[in-house]
């Protein structure tokens, strides 16, 4: 799919200045569910071009546990790219250092940084938004099962 790129290709695929407001969001998106779809749709509604940074399999495993991710990064990217609200999916390598995330955000230069209300890194993202002059948009979650709860129901975790 033409909407999926590797992080090192990012600068080639950024929209020009005439593309409007750029929105940046990120996450694992392991089992795509209605909460993800609504979050991304609302994020896209705050701008004109939505870029999703997609965590690596290794990072998801470290964050979520030994049986995760359920779907590999490429499969997760294909599901995200199929959404009308998503304009570009960036496959992230393993990132351990906050400055590496900041460098990606600075390359994108988003107008909006979209996060969920329960994002464990919201304060880091708030600082990133300030550094690039972006608005931090906190999106309230749809009351639904999280991917972690769905994985437990499926007996994966």
pLDDT at 99: 92
pLDDT confidence tier of residue 141, bands split at 50, 70 and 90: confident
pLDDT at 143: 66
pLDDT at 155: 66
pLDDT at 3 over 80: yes
pLDDT at 144: 63
- Whether residue 22 contacts residue 111, with contact meaning beta carbons closer than 8 Å, is answered with yes
pTM of the model: 0.89
pLDDT at 137: 97
pLDDT at 74: 98
40-72 pLDDT per residue, tens = 999 999 999 999 999 999 999 998 888 899 999
Q: Helices 98-108 and 122-132 meet at what angle, rounded to 10?
A: 40
Strand order in the sheet with 135-139: 4-6, 88-91, 49-54, 22-27, 112-116, 135-139
Identify which has the larger pLDDT, 55 or 155: 55
Locus of tokens 């990132």: 95
pLDDT at 157: 61
Q: Domain 20-153 is in which class?
A: alpha beta
pLDDT confidence tier of residue 21, bands split at 50, 70 and 90: very high
115-140 pLDDT per residue, tens = 999 898 999 999 999 999 999 999 99
Q: State the DSSP string of the chain.
A: -TTEEEGGGHHHHS--GGG--EEEEEE---S--HHHHHHHHHHHTTSSEEEEEE--HHHHHHHH-TT--SS-HHHHHHHHHTSTT-SEEEE------HHHHHHHHHHH--SEEEEETT-TTHHHHHHHHHHHTPEEEEEPPPSS--HHHHHHHTT--
């Amino acid at each position: 799919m033409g909407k999926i790129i590797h992080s090192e290709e990012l600068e080639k695929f950024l929209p020009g200045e005439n593309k409007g407001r750029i929105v940046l969001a990120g996450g694992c998106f392991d089992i795509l569910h209605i909460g993800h779809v609504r979050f991304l749709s609302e994020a896209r509604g705050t701008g004109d071009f939505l870029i999703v940074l997609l965590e690596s399999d290794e990072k998801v495993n470290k964050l979520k546990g030994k049986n995760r991710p359920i779907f590999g990064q490429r499969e997760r990217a294909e599901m995200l790219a199929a959404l009308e609200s998503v304009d570009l999916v960036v496959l992230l390598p393993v990132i351990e250092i906050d400055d590496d995330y900041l460098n990606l955000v600075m390359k994108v230069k988003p107008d909006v940084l979209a996060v969920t209300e329960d994002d464990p890194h919201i304060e880091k993202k708030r600082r990133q938004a300030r550094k690039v002059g972006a608005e931090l948009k906190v999106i309230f979650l749809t009351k639904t099962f999280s991917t972690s709860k769905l994985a437990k129901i499926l007996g994966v975790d």
